[in-house]
Amino acid sequence: ETGVTQTPRHLVMGMTNKKSLKCEQHLGHNAMYWYKQSAKKPLELMFVYNFKEQTENNSVPSRFSPECPNSSHLFLHLHTLQPEDSALYLCASSRGQENQPQHFGDGTRLSIL
């Protein structure tokens, strides 16, 4: 139990579907992150929110749309994804963004048909 919960754990969707990934943290942290993890590649930072405000968007395609309604919840809305978007999507949170470690959820394994 890491204190960061992601749902669903697995998701299979077609390229024309719309779905959302959910992340919730129970650690009282103020920063939340979305990462993409592909096999044998470094973690790719997608979005960063600090006190509900987006502070980073690492050139992520618009078919990925984040939402952060409060400091405990983070969503990733998915629309018209491509096969190369199949990956493990990890959510993380931290107390601040400087030297505090990030705490990760177990991720959502996404497969695009």
Q: Which of 29, 104, 110, 112 binds other proteins (CB under 8 A)?
A: 104
CB atoms within 10 A of CB 19: 16
CB neighbours of 39 closer than 8 A, spacing ≥ 6? none
Per-position x/- string for 55-94, each x denoting binding to other proteins as judged by CB under 8 A, each - no binding: -x---------------------------------x----
CB neighbours of 9 closer than 8 A, spacing ≥ 6? 106, 107, 108, 109
Between 50 and 80, name the residue whose CB sits nearer to other proteins.
Answer: 50
Between 41 and 59, name the residue whose CB sits nearer to other proteins.
Answer: 41
The one-letter amino acid code at 109 reads R
- 46 interacts with other proteins by CB under 8 A: no
Count of residues engaged in binding other proteins, rule: CB under 8 A: 19
Cis peptide before 69 (omega within 30 of 0): no
Shortest Å, Cβ 108 to other proteins: 12
- Spell out the SS3 assignment of 6-24: EECCEEEECCCCEEEEEEE
- 52 interacts with other proteins by CB under 8 A: no
- Binding part of the chain for other proteins, among 18-26, 59-67, 72-80, 104-112 by CB under 8 A, reads 104-112
